[in-house]
Amino acid sequence: MAQGVAQSSPNKPHDLGHSEDAVAGPSAATRERRLPPWLRRWFDNHQALGDEARQAGVEWLRCLPFLAMHAATLGVIWVGWSPVAIWIAAAAFLVRMFAITGFYHRYFSHRAFRTSRAFQGLMAFVGGCAAQRDPMWWASHHVQHHLHSDSPGDPHSPSLSGFLGSHAGWFMTGEGFQTRSKFVRDWERFAELRFLNRFDWVPPLLFAALIYVLGWSLERFRPTLGTNGPQLLVWGFFISTICLYHATFTVNSLAHGWGQRRFATGDDSRNNWFLALLTLGEGWHNNHHHCPGVARQGFYWWEIDITYYGLVVLSKLGLVWDLRPVPAGVVERRRIDSPSGGSAA
């Protein structure tokens, strides 16, 4: 088993007496060091961070791609819209949201079910297309959140860092950039996950290219659909991804203050039906903090949990298995409301 994520080795000094080095000029490592650290980390997450890793301030230069994604949505002014662009944007949102909620969250963070290595890798890649970094980074911060929920050490508590800090500001800092490796040691043995942890820009770039090629193909072979490459890129990638960003982020920022509490969890987590619809079931957040290791977050039949329904379908197909159920009696423990009748589904 690998003992940790591969790290960049220190650069060795040049042998100035070596004639080949003198002719070839600066090595690739030397040329790389000439680039500012924030720019190197656009392409390689394993670049050493140094003192800035302990800083709480926003690293605006490193976060320029994230900001540029928002600016790119203005391209809709020039590309217009079409029904097919709207449908593809919606499909891209739903598929990638399911990969985040079902796999980044319930699988990689909480081990709520089991799957094969091949399907694990596939869903890690699909989740990566959401441009929310890789599953190891995502899970490591989520585990830390549960260990210190709404107390010092929580990376995104609205009661400690405010709405903006918990919504997006936390991952824009040097501290938030780091993968908390101690929480994901078991995932480090998979080379494909280590690759995504280091080069998390690969899946979203490939996805954006695929969306563009799809639009170009439809313009060429089905021109009556009224779409093209730039239009699908703006709708299917940029707009869809921005909607996906902020829908996901609401679980950190809004679901710890807006909604109802059913269980005494020691934090500010809430159940919110609207956020549950928006995030395919993640809005039953107080339920989740009460019993985080189960595959289902909507404990009652009326608590819609689309992610769980999708996992059940995948289990019927044999792609996932051993979905961890809500333990008997857990819904009656630590209640701070009056049971609303009925039994947990």
Q: Does residue 5 surpass a pLDDT of 80?
A: no
What pLDDT, on the 0 to 100 scale, is given for residue 14?
Answer: 38
Question: pTM of the full predicted structure?
Answer: 0.87
What pLDDT, in 10s, does the model give residues 215-265?
Answer: 999 999 999 999 999 999 999 999 999 999 999 999 999 999 999 999 999
In this predicted structure, what is the pLDDT of residue 28? 54
What pLDDT is attached to residue 41?
73
In the prediction, which pLDDT does 256 show? 94
How far apart CA 319 and CA 321 sit, in angstroms, is 7
> How do residues 119-152 score in pLDDT, each as one tens digit?
999 999 999 999 999 999 999 999 999 999 999 9
Is the model's pLDDT at 316 over the cut of 90?
yes
The pLDDT value recorded for residue 105 is: 98
Contact 232, 218 (CB under 8 A): yes
Q: What is the mean pLDDT of residues 17-34?
A: 50
pLDDT band at 23 (very low <50, low <70, confident <90, very high): very low
Is pLDDT of 52 > 60?
no
Q: What's the mean pLDDT in 173-180?
A: 89
- pLDDT score, position 1: 45
Domain boundaries defined on the chain = 21-253
Q: Are 41 and 199 in contact (CB under 8 A)?
A: no
pLDDT band, residue 56 (cuts 50/70/90)? low
Provide the token pair at 124. 């890690």
| Predicted pLDDT at 16 | 34
pLDDT at residue 199 in the model: 94
Distance, in Å, from the CA atom of 52 to the CA atom of 256, rounded to the nearest integer, reads 29
Which sign, positive or negative, has the C-alpha torsion 152, 155, 159, 161?
A: positive
Reply yes or no on whether the pLDDT at 3 is more than 50.
no
pLDDT of the residue at 112: 97
Residue 337: its pLDDT value, please? Answer: 78
Asked if the model's pLDDT at residue 17 lies above 70, the reply is no
* Interval 258-311: pLDDT, tens: 999 999 999 999 999 999 999 999 999 999 999 999 999 999 999 999 999 999
Cα(322)–Cα(311) distance, rounded to whole angstroms? Answer: 11
Structure confidence at residue 33 (pLDDT)? 61
CA gap 230, 215 in Å, rounded: 7
pLDDT value of residue 49: 56
pLDDT attached to residue 131: 96
Contact 240, 89 (CB under 8 A): yes
At 45 the pLDDT is: 79
Stretch among 2-16, 93-107, 243-257, 276-290 having the lowest mean pLDDT: 2-16
Across the chain, mean pLDDT equals 88
Residue 155: per-residue pLDDT: 92
- Helix, strand, coil shares of the chain, percent, nearest 5, are 60, 5, 40
